[in-house]
Amino acid sequence: MRNFTKALDHLQRSDKALSALIRKVGPCKLGIRRHASPFAALFQAIVYQQLNGSAAGTILGRVKALYPGKKFPTPKDVLATPDETLRKAGLSRAKVAAIKDLAFHARQGTVPSPRVIVGLTDVEIIERLTVIRGIGQWTVEMLLIFYLGRPDVWPTTDYGVRKGFARIYGMAELPSPKELLELGEKWRPHRTVAAWYFWRALELPN
């Protein structure tokens, strides 16, 4: 279990509403999802886009089954796989195109290796990866949070964070990403933990 004591101390001092939310939710249980590589993490993220977890998990399982004996296909494997084969596994044409582009960029070195990515800043990672088809800033932010465990990621376009924020602060409308960026400044350098609590806010009884 990661230690969030310093982050929680900072966030609870920031304002009463967030402090009350933290007390209701309890300890932060934000964990890291272990993937073999950034390529594998982004591959999975593309599969899961705009699908519920169960459906996406089924499709991911079918795709991985195309490569027997391997936990996860390599970029070379993906590029060698006909589009129609990936389509029959359940991927849309747009997702096949995105996964092929991801594999191409991984072969070119744009997608960092596990060793290289840990030495890059959040901004450098976002700039490198958002050139890939189907990979936007939100997807990279999820990689930073759940694969790398970066402490100060503030996903201002995330619907759950915006909705949780509005609920806790009694806002009639969702804050815009620009508003949320400004409002979150006081939580640096622990905005990842703040985001986790706003996600949890949606699970609390009304």
Nearest to 193 by CA among 16, 56, 31, 13: 31
Instruction: Please check whether residue 88 is in contact with residue 95, taking contact to mean a CB–CB distance below 8 angstroms.
Output: no
Residues with Cβ within 8 Å of 162's Cβ and at least 6 positions away in sequence, in order, are 156, 174, 175, 177, 180
Indicate which residue of 9, 15, 152, 158 is catalytic. 158
Greatest extent of the chain over all pairs of C-alpha atoms, in Å: 55
3-state SS, residue 159: helix
> Active-site residue 122, yes or no?
no
Instruction: Please check whether residue 126 is in contact with residue 137, taking contact to mean a CB–CB distance below 8 angstroms.
Output: yes
Q: How distant, in Å, are the alpha carbons of 49, 82, 91, 125, 126 from that of 141?
A: 14, 30, 23, 9, 8
Both tokens assigned to 160: 């759950």
**Catalytic center residues:** 158
